[in-house]
Amino acid sequence: GDSVTQMEGPVTLSEEAFLTINCTYTATGYPSLFWYVQYPGEGLQLLLKATKADDKGSNKGFEATYRKETTSFHLEKGSVQVSDSAVYFCALYQGAQKLVFGQGTRLTINP
């Protein structure tokens, strides 16, 4: 079945460091791909998305490119801030109206 695999956390960085959170997926066909963010005690919010190969989603300085050849959708940010501390989830949506999430990666940014 469809699945999403994220890099293991937690990830701890210093402010202004470069961030990469890896995400790979397994799916038949061409799913839509998403990154969601969950701040402490809250539900999830959409961070960015891409719906076809080579699309780049971007928001709040975060970027991710839909790579069909490597079945990946890695999240990147050039300079992280303390306020970026949260749990990040990679997800895919394909057919069957089923939205599947990765296991989440906890990110902590130290000042």
Partner 1 sequence: SQTIHQWPATLVQPVGSPLSLECTVEGTSNPNLYWYRQAAGRGLQLLFYSVGIGQISSEVPQNLSASRPQDRQFILSSKKLLLSDSGFYLCAWSSEDTEAFFGQGTRLTVV
Residue 98 near partner 1 by CB under 8 A? yes
φ, ψ of residue 64 in degrees (nearest 5)? -155, 135
Q: Does 42 bind partner 1 (CB under 8 A)?
A: yes
Q: Is 32 in the site for partner 1 (CB under 8 A)?
A: yes
Note whether 12 binds partner 1 by CB under 8 A. no
Rounded least distance, CB 79 to partner 1, Å = 26
Piece in contact with partner 1 (CB under 8 A), picked from 58-66, 68-76, 77-85, 100-108: 100-108
| Residue in 34, 62, 66, 73 binding partner 1, rule: CB under 8 A | 34
Q: Count H helices, E strands: the chain?
A: 0, 12
Is the bond leading into 10 cis (omega within 30 degrees of zero)?
Answer: yes
110, two tokens: 């130290």
Regarding 45 and contact with partner 1 (CB under 8 A), the answer is yes
Chain centroid to CA 1: how far? 20
Distance CA 26, CA 33 (A): 11
- HSE-CB at 84 with a 13 A cutoff on CA atoms is 28
Is 100 among the residues that bind partner 1 (CB under 8 A)? yes
**Interacting residues with partner 1 (CB under 8 A):** 6, 32, 34, 36, 41-46, 49, 51, 89, 91, 93-94, 97-104
